[in-house]
């Protein structure tokens, strides 16, 4: 029912060939639901689950359901997982790649809207923004996101309303950068850097759900060091890279 | 704190900052790994520009002179970094070993399948 025929699927003229990259670290609870929702809502796009050295039943689920997936032999972190997906997208000639969370936060119906926006406006990166849809992170996360928005505005003169949104679509030019360049991570400071290098970044309004289960990467990635890294990158290194 | 020590701290820190920024620009170190060095350099500059900080803490902790406090701070920061690097190396060693094992098992599987 899943994926086996997916690579042979024909792609129509003028339609972007899209890959959804689904990094999964210990996501046994949600992965199957997330992928089945994705394939039923968006039958035209391909997906790749990147099992990032999970210690739970994630790899078994991938095998049993014949999900299109790769297994990292050791846990390498979100950045490395996304980059592995980008390499796959680059080698298999995809026009666009979208980061898609395994935990069920992201809604697949927005993928086609993002692709439409990317084509109509000739964007390099499309971000699904919770803030444009009237939502957005609250509490400490919301404050951190607002700070990052302000720092990106300072560095690029452009307002990114939801810089920490995990649902971003990249075109082929960006896929190549992610597949090859040093110290490029799917994080807000990279978005800012790419804008400074001339990439066109747009946002579309999108709702997101609460996490359906699993453990967030950010729990392992201490929030303080995340903010320190992001702020330092935006404040200082942005001018030298 | 003698003016010479303050000057040395400032010049040394600025030099360190310049080296770190250059390495980031030349793609020799990831930004995440450079945070510690930038923070330390800025801390040393703060100590040099505002000696009051060092005077306050050396009084509080019973150091004989503020410069002793600054030296002690540097040693503590170095020990913390050293220990963290020991932990990182442990993790890396384990990952490299696991990768080697995975690769060896993979090759064996391929051979057994006659590939």
pTM of the model: 0.86
Instruction: Name which of A205, A195, A198, A194 is nearest A165 in CA terms.
Output: A205
Binning chain A into helix, strand and coil, the percentages to the nearest 5 are 45, 15, 40
**Calculated CA dihedral for residues B4, B48, B43, A193, nearest 10 degrees:** -90
Q: Compare CB distances from A73 to B27, B34, B98 and report the shortest one's residue.
A: B98
Buried b / exposed e across A81-94, counting CB within 10 Å, b at 16+? bbbbbbbbbbeeeb
Is the ipTM value over 0.85, yes or no? no
What are A110's two structure tokens? 């927005």
Instruction: Please say whether the beta carbons of A174 and A195 come within 8 A.
Output: no
Number of alpha carbons in the 13 Å side-chain half-sphere of residue B114: 0
CB < 8 Å to A232, chain B: 31, 34-35, 38
For residues A32 and A58, what is the distance between their CA atoms, to the nearest angstrom?
Answer: 9
Give CA–CA dist A92/A19, Å, rounded. Answer: 10
Q: A74 to chain B: which residues are within 8 Å by CB?
A: 95, 98-99, 102
Q: B35 vs A228: CB contact, 8 Å cut-off? A: yes
Label residue A9 by pLDDT band (50, 70, 90): very low
Nearest-Cα distance to chain A for B73, in Å, is 21
pLDDT at A211 over 80: no
pLDDT digits (tens, 9 = 90+) for A54-78: 999 999 999 999 999 999 999 999 9
From the list B25, B95, B98, which residue is nearest A241 (CB)?
B25
Report the length, in residues, of chain B: 115
* Predicted local distance difference test score (pLDDT) of residue A218: 54
Report d(CA A39, CA A43) in Å as an integer.
5
Instruction: Please write the tens of the pLDDT for every residue from A167-188.
Output: 999 999 999 999 999 999 999 9
CATH topology of domain A6-239: Spore Coat Polysaccharide Biosynthesis Protein SpsA; Chain A (3.90.550)
What is the distance between the alpha carbons of residues A178 and A164, in angstroms, rounded to a whole number? 18
């Amino acid at each position: 029912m899943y994926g086996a025929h997916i690579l042979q699927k024909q792609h129509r003229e003028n339609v972007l060939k899209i890959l959804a990259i689904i990094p999964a670290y210990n996501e046994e609870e949600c992965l199957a639901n997330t992928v089945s929702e994705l394939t039923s809502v968006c039958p035209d796009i391909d997906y790749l689950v990147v099992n990032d050295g999970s210690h739970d039943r994630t790899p078994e689920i991938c095998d049993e359901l014949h999900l299109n997936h790769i297994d990292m032999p050791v846990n390498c972190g979100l950045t490395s997982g996304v980059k592995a997906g980008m390499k796959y997208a680059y080698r298999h000639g995809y026009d666009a790649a979208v980061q898609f969370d395994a935990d069920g936060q992201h809604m697949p119906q927005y993928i086609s809207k993002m692709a439409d926006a990317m084509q109509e406006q000739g964007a390099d990166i499309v971000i699904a923004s919770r803030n444009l849809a009237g939502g957005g992170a609250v509490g400490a996360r919301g404050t951190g996101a607002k700070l990052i928005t302000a720092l990106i505005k300072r560095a690029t003169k452009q307002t990114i309303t939801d810089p920490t949104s995990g649902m971003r679509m990249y075109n082929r030019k960006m896929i190549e950068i992610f597949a090859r360049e040093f110290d490029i991570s799917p994080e807000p400071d990279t978005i800012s850097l790419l804008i400074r290098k001339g990439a066109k970044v747009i946002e579309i309004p999108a709702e997101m759900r609460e996490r359906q289960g699993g453990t967030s990467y950010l729990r392992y990635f201490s929030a303080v060091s995340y903010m320190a890294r992001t702020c330092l990158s935006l404040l200082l290194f942005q001018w030298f890279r | 704190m003698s003016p010479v020590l303050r000057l040395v701290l400032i010049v040394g820190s600025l030099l360190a900052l310049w080296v770190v920024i250059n390495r980031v620009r030349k793609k020799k170190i990831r930004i995440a790994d450079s945070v510690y060095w930038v923070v330390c350099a800025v801390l040393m500059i703060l100590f040099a520009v505002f000696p009051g900080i060092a005077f306050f803490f050396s009084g509080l902790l019973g150091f004989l002179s503020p410069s002793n406090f600054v030296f002690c701070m540097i040693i503590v920061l170095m020990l913390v970094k050293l220990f963290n690097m020991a932990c990182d190396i442990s993790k890396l060693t384990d990952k490299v070993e696991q990768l080697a094992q995975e690769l060896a098992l993979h090759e064996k599987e391929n051979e057994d399948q006659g590939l």
